[in-house]
Amino acid sequence: MVKPATSETRYEPVVGWPAVPHGLFLHEATSVGVDSEDRVYVFNRGQWPMLVFDRDGNFLDAWGAGEFDTPHGISFDTDDNIYLADNANFVQKRTRNGDVLLTLGEKGVEKPRHTGEPFNSPTHVAIQPGSGDWFVSDGYRNSSVHRFDASGKHIMSWGEPGSGPGQFALPHNICMVGEDRVLVADRENYRLQMFTLDGEFLLEKRVHKPQALFAGTGDDTNIYVAEGRPPLVMEGVPRLGKRVAVLDRDLNEVTSIGNEMSGQAPDQFISPHAMAVDSEGSIYVAEVSYNGLGSRLQPAREVISLRKWRRTDTGGAAGQGLSGRALDQYIKGLRNDGPGGRRALRIG
């Protein structure tokens, strides 16, 4: 397994990844996960909510049509079971082929807002590797984290609206830190909060609009944080989000990826919303780019929402992506409509 990233670690975009078959569309890729065989699962809002690729970008499978309302989050346990969060008030455990193993909540049935009852627009699921307990961030219209045992029995919940310790303003994502700590992306409070398994507050760290978290596996002890775009009044201003930061387990930043400006160029982000890391240390990033950009264009259209960045010190993904004339023509034809504009487009 890959070692933790350091300040010397470098990543480069794999341009043109993946090879989405003609006729399939993502609308936007809201979340991405990687299984133990480095198959990449893209939870999206297109006609097939789950698209599966190998790490080279070859299309493998699709499933989930008509089964979801608003796909939001995907995660895996150590047995390669998939956990999915849908903003329509349910979370599920499924096999890699999409077979439903367990559902918590009921599609379209919401609990009263900000009462702490599960669910009202849940966002993500983290699994404690020893017990199999679920930790669910909930969500857009709730201010809670819920803990369930492996069978789905509710154990406890914590959180309430606010900006103090243990309070939330849109708990947007969640991950485990080791086996005994839980990290929550408290998005609209612009911070991360760390807790014990029983919800005891431990510490917080200020970050720009944390939209997603990913805990490295095996020897990779890094925590990956996706930072969203700034509010409209600050759009086009450099160094405000639109990046993925790589932290150590004490939440110190060690490196990051992403241009200072947003856009569709290979080294830019529009609105990074989820990420996952494979066994070679490559980072896959899903973006809510239709919401963040495509819907505001004239005419509205799908824009880039899925990216891969190769970790260069592991040899992973060498030779992948576009090169030579294909890369040149891709760049020339790219509609770079983000606030960064063409002046921010650069490769290498």
Question: How does pLDDT run across 232-262, given as a tens digit for each residue?
Answer: 888 888 889 999 999 999 999 999 999 888 8
Long-range own/partner contacts, residues 58-67 (CB < 8 A, 24 or more apart): 58/18, 58/19, 59/18, 59/19, 59/20, 59/21, 59/24, 61/97, 62/24, 63/97, 63/98, 64/98
What burial class does residue 254 get, using C-beta atoms within 10 Å of its C-beta: 0-12 exposed, 13-18 middle, 19+ buried? middle
Q: Is a pLDDT exceeding 70 seen at residue 184?
A: yes
Average pLDDT of every residue of the chain: 92
Q: Is a pLDDT exceeding 60 seen at residue 30?
A: yes
Closest CA to 177 of 135, 125, 216: 216
- In angstroms, the Cα distances linking 292 to 49, 225, 272, 288 are 19, 18, 10, 6
> How confident is residue 331, by pLDDT bands cut at 50, 70 and 90?
confident
Sorted by where each begins, the domain ranges of the chain are 11-344
User: What is the predicted pLDDT for the residue at 233?
Assistant: 87
Assess contact for 136 and 91: CB atoms under 8 A: yes
> How confident is residue 319, by pLDDT bands cut at 50, 70 and 90?
low
- In angstroms, the Cα distances linking 174 to 113, 185, 194, 250 are 20, 6, 10, 16
Q: Is a pLDDT exceeding 70 seen at residue 341?
A: no
> How confident is residue 317, by pLDDT bands cut at 50, 70 and 90?
low
Range in 47-56, 131-140, 197-206, 318-327 the model is least confident about: 318-327
Looking at per-residue pLDDT, the higher value among 251 and 338 belongs to: 251
Q: Is a pLDDT exceeding 70 seen at residue 338?
A: no
Q: Is a pLDDT exceeding 70 seen at residue 169?
A: yes
Q: Is a pLDDT exceeding 90 seen at residue 220?
A: yes
Q: Is a pLDDT exceeding 80 seen at residue 346?
A: no
Mean pLDDT score, 155-173 = 98
User: What is the predicted pLDDT for the residue at 310?
Assistant: 95
3-class SS at 299?
coil
Percent of the chain with pLDDT over 90: 82
Q: What is the CATH number of domain 11-344?
A: 2.120.10.30
Length in residues, the chain: 348
Closest CA to 187 of 156, 224, 147, 143: 143
CA pair distance 269, 266, nearest whole angstrom:
8
> Which amino acid is located at 276 in the chain?
A
User: What is the predicted pLDDT for the residue at 335?
Assistant: 60
What burial class does residue 251 get, using C-beta atoms within 10 Å of its C-beta: 0-12 exposed, 13-18 middle, 19+ buried? middle
> How confident is residue 336, by pLDDT bands cut at 50, 70 and 90?
low
Percent of the chain with pLDDT over 70: 94
3-class SS at 331?
helix
**Tokens coding 327:** 């890369």
**Tokens coding 289:** 């780019």
Closest CA to 255 of 264, 243, 271: 243
Range in 20-24, 40-44, 140-144 the model is least confident about: 20-24
DSSP 226-291: EE-PPPGGGTT-TTSS-EEEEE-TT--EEEEES-SS-SSSTT--S-EEEEEE-TT--EEEEE-HHH
- In angstroms, the Cα distances linking 150 to 88, 104, 155 are 22, 11, 10
User: What is the predicted pLDDT for the residue at 286?
Assistant: 98
> How confident is residue 342, by pLDDT bands cut at 50, 70 and 90?
very low
Measured from the Cβ of residue 275, the count of other Cβ atoms closer than 10 Å reads 25
